[in-house]
Structure 1
Amino acid sequence: MSIRLTGEIRKMSISNVNNACAVVLIIVLFASHMSAFHIDDCMRNQQNNSILHIREAHIHPANVIAPGNLNVRVNFEILRDISSDFELSVVVWRKVLFLWLTLSRSTHSLCGLLDTEFLQVDGSTSCPPQLANAGLPCRCPFTRGHYSLPLSSFYIVKPHYLLYGRYWVQAQLRDTSTGVLKACQTMRLTLSRP
């Protein structure tokens, strides 16, 4: 998948559906109360262990249109300093007729994924301008605090292997040294034609 961020021409190479969904979850951290898109915290019963809380977030349009612009606004909190690496597990399902079929499962090093996916064409490792201008972290370590992304536009290009339709994605962060679940988000979205 190739994502071109507006305001600066650059490309992020992503080799498969797993990385595409992981990057979307990491970059955007978005939520909406519209039926076409929904994100939910799947750690409600384990709030003492949680390291992430999304306070408010919105996307427009409600369906993710690819290719096209996705406008995002988010307010979230990192509840504890994150100085060590975490394991990011991503499962992607696609709705086919009345069934949710598992499309892919993957596990990544969170810090390794961020270092790889934000590598610029020129070899630099700067954050995307939308995140950098808002003071949002995109590299390990992460500092405890409140963060906000004002309304920002991201240009999304649909990978050839990803079909239009309804998707459900679950992302979990686990402490690599203890195996304890530290964050879990599920996201349902519709990928639509322009």
Structure 2
Amino acid sequence: MLFDSPSLSSSQQVKSITWENCDSGKLPGTIKSLSISPDPVSIPGEVIVSVVLNTEVPLSSPLQIKITAEKELFGDWLTAPCIDKFGSCTYTEVCDLLDAFFKPGQQCPGPLQTYGLPCHCPFRAGSYSLPTTSFKIPSFSLPSWLAEGNYRVTGILSHKNQEIGCAKFTFSLAEPSSWWW
């Protein structure tokens, strides 16, 4: 007998990732290119990323990112609330978040250091390129109401209430099928 048993699987897959600049690239901060593979990306697992970002203005504190996360439910898009800094949240000081992840005074980790990419504010105006690089994604759990479905995530970067950049991402989350004979 065949049956699908996603409850036995502790992994997830991110499928069909697409992206676009919200403003057709008219703001001073843009994603010039972004490639993510494989499709689907398994969590836990390995993801291969290459990205080129551009900013026509220097970026310094205070930098804010407003994330709006939406999940499709019965053909409608519902905004996910901000719970424990996850979901539709506003992060009022990105520079402080970076300092929490990458301690000030220490070298930037791995690929950032290799390609001369900064990991602390301020960021000078210019182009930032991360060539094809592999990252390991650790296992983590999502609330069951977020575990599967179609999503839209919009991120707006602002400096002193001036919008610098905006990007939209769409993807699907699913648990891989486990088949038992």
Per the normalisation by structure 1, the TM-score is: 0.68
Q: 1:148 aligns with which of 129, 142, 146?
A: 129
Q: Is the 8 A contact 1:168 1:189 kept in 2?
A: yes
Please identify the structure whose Cα radius of gyration is greater: 2
Unaligned runs of 5+ in 1: 1-34
Going from structure 1 to structure 2, the CA distance change for 1:67 and 1:97 (only over 3 Å counts) comes to: farther
Bigger fraction of residues in helix: 1
% identical aligned pairs:
30
Identify the range of structure 1 (151-160 vs 94-103) with the bigger mean alpha-carbon deviation.
94-103
Which structure has the higher relative contact order (CA within 8 Å, separation 6+)? 2
Q: 1:54 aligns with which of 12, 27, 31?
A: 31
Going from structure 1 to structure 2, the CA distance change for 1:106 and 1:125 (only over 3 Å counts) comes to: farther
Residue number in structure 2 paired with 1:182: 164
Q: How does 1:1-194 map to 2 (within 5 A)?
A: 36-44=16-24, 47=26, 50-104=27-81, 105-108=88-91, 109-119=93-103, 125-162=106-143, 163-176=147-160, 179-193=161-175
Structure 2 Cα separation of the partners of residues 158 and 99 of structure 1: 29
Unaligned runs of 5+ in 2: 1-14, 82-87, 177-181
Q: Is the 8 A contact 1:87 1:174 kept in 2?
A: yes
Going from structure 1 to structure 2, the CA distance change for 1:126 and 1:99 (only over 3 Å counts) comes to: farther
Structure 2 Cα separation of the partners of residues 172 and 125 of structure 1: 28
1:72 partner amino acid: V
